[in-house]
Structure 1
C-alpha cells in the first residue's frame, strides 16, 4: 500500500464515508426508498464512520506491508541488511560478527529490566565492584556497559 493511500485510510477515509453516506441517503430518500435510506444511514454513519474515525490507523496497518509495529520491522531490517551485505561480500566475517554483536547489544540494552535501579554504592568504572545488594543480573549488565564504554573509547 502506498504511503499516501495509507495516510488517507488512517486520517481521512471516515470523512469520505460520511459524505458518501449523506449522498446515498439523500438519493434513496428522494427516490422513495426510505427503508434503503435507513439502512445506508445506519451502516454508513453509525457503523463505518466511527470505525474509520477511531481505528483508521489500525485498519491502514492491516493492509500495509510493514505491519502494525514499525519498531520491530526496523530491527529486522537492520539484521536483514547486515546479512545481505555479508552474503554479497561487501563486509568480511570479522566485520559481520562485530556489527552483529553491536546490534544484539543494542537490543539487549533497550530490553533491560533494571534501568535506573542501581544504588549509588555500585561503581561503573573498570575494575570497580558491585555490592552484595545487587543480583547477578545487574552485575552482568554493569560489566557489559563497562566493556561497551571501553570499546567506544
Structure 2
C-alpha cells in the first residue's frame, strides 16, 4: 500500500529510491539513540542497517518494486482491452467507463488537479472508443 502511494506520486522509481526510503528511518533512530547517550544501541542499529537491511533491500528491491507495479492495474485499460476483444458491448463499455470515471480513486481525490486528470482520461477514452468504432465500421 505504501509502495503504491510512493510510486504513484513519482517518489519511488528504482532500487536507489527504495534504499533511501528504508535508510532514513534507521538514520533517525540511530541519531536519536546517539543523541540521548545510547551509543552502544546506536552502533548496533548502524551495524544492522549496513550489514542486514541495506543488502536485503538491494538484493530484493527489484522484485518488490516489479511485483508491486504488476499488482496495480489500470481499470480503464482493462475495460478497453475487454471492449476491443468483444467481451463488452458498446453500451456496457460506456456504462463501465462512466461508472469508473464518476468514482474517483482515493489517490486522485487528494490531488489538486483531479478535475484536469478526469477530463484527460475522459477525452482519451472517448477518442479510443471512437477509433475502435471507426475500425469496426470499416
Task: Return the structure number with greater helix share.
Answer: 2
What is the TM-score normalised by the length of structure 2?
0.40
Higher relative contact order (CA 8 A, sep 6+): 2
Larger radius of gyration: 1
What is the TM-score normalised by the length of structure 1?
0.37
